[in-house]
A and B are shown apart, each in its own frame.
Chain A
Amino acid sequence: MTKQLPNNDVGIHDIDRLIHEPSRLMIMAQLYVVQSADFTFLLHQTGMTPGNLSAHLSKLEEAGYVEVTKEFLDRKPHTALALTKEGRAAFKEYRRKVKQFVEKLPE
C-alpha cells in the first residue's frame, strides 16, 4: 500500500527548478550573502570548473536572476556578478517553499 502524501500548500512542482539545480543553488546562495562578486571569487567558493560556472551563470542571467556588470579595476577589465532584485526575491521564495515543503513531509 502506498503511503499518502500530505496535502501540502506547496507541491514539489511549485519549487523553482532553475534554482533547485545544486550548482545553480550554490551560485545563488553565494551571491545572496554578498553584494557582488567576480568570476574568480565564485570559482574558488563553489569549486566548479570555469566552463561549468560560466554555463550556469548564463542560465541565471537569461532568467534575469543574475546581472553582469563590466567595469575597470586598476585599468583592467573586471566583471562583477550580482543578484538582481528578481533574483533575490526568487531565492527568498525558493527557500520559503522548500522549507514549507520539507516541514510538512511525514517523519
Chain B
Amino acid sequence: MTEEPNLKEIERRAYMSYHQDGLLDIFAGLYILGFGLGIFMDIIWDFGMGVIIIPGGLIAVALPIWIAVKRKITMPRIGFVKFGPAGGTSKLMAIFIGLAVAGLGFFFVFTLATFQSGSRQWLDLIFQNGMLILGFGSLAVCILFGYSMGLRRLYAYGLLAMITLVIGHLLDIFFAYILSALGITVIATGVALLIGFVKKYPLKGDKAIAE
C-alpha cells in the first residue's frame, strides 16, 4: 500500500528548494548592512536621515532586482514554481510583513533616539539596553520565520545576531560596527550559497526553462 504523502514536508521541500540559491540571505544582509551604513553616513556627514534613506532605498530597488535575478539564475536551473495562497505566497507575504514591521520598529526606536531628549526613564532604559533588546528580538524573529518557512539557517542567523549584539552591549562596541559585520556575514553566507547553487545546478541550455 502506498503511504499517504506528507504534504507539509513536500511543500516545505518545494519552498526550500526555491530559497537554496542564497538570494534571500544576500538581500537580507544588504538590508542589515544598509542600516549600518546609514548610521555611519549620519555620523560622518551629519546627514540625519541616512538610517532611513539607505534601507528604504534598498527596499524600493530590491524587489525588481530580486525578480530579475530569480529569472536569470534560479529559474533556468531548478525550474519555475508559483506558490498558491495556502503555500509559499502567504509565507512570502509573511517575510515582507515581518521585514516591514521590523523596519518600522527600528525606525520608531531610532526616531525616538534622535529626537528624544531622554527625559523619560523608561526610554532611557530602552536606549541603554537597545542592543540587548534588539539581540533577543532578532533571535525571536529569526526563530519565528525560520520555523514558519522551514529555513533552519535563520536560527543560526538569529543566534549570531543575539550573541554579537549582547557582546556589543557588554563591551560597548559601536552599534553600526555590529550591524555592518552582521550584514556582511549574512551577505557572505548568501554568496556562498549562490555559488554552491550554481555549481550544483549547472545550466543545461535553453531547454532547462523551455521544456
Contact = CB atoms under 8 A, between A and B. Distances in A.
Contacts of B75: 73
B82 to A, nearest CB: 4
Contacts of B85: 35
A44 B2 contact: no
Nearest to B68: A74
A43 interface: yes
Interface centre among B7, B13, B77, B209 (most CB of A within 10 A): B209
Interface in A17-50: 20, 22, 25-26, 29-30, 32-45, 50
B211 interface: yes
Contact of A45 (B2, B14, B201): B14
A10 to B, nearest CB: 13
A76 B80 contact: no
A36 B82 contact: yes
Contacts of A43: 79
Contacts of B80: 37-38, 40-41, 73, 78, 80
Given A25-B2, A40-B79, A41-B78, A76 B210 contact: yes
B5 interface: yes
Given A20-B2, A33-B10, A45-B17, A78 B210 contact: yes
B5 A34 contact: no
A50 B210 CA distance: 13
B210 A35 contact: no
B71 A73 contact: yes
B4 A98 contact: yes
Given A25-B2, A78-B209, A35 B7 contact: no
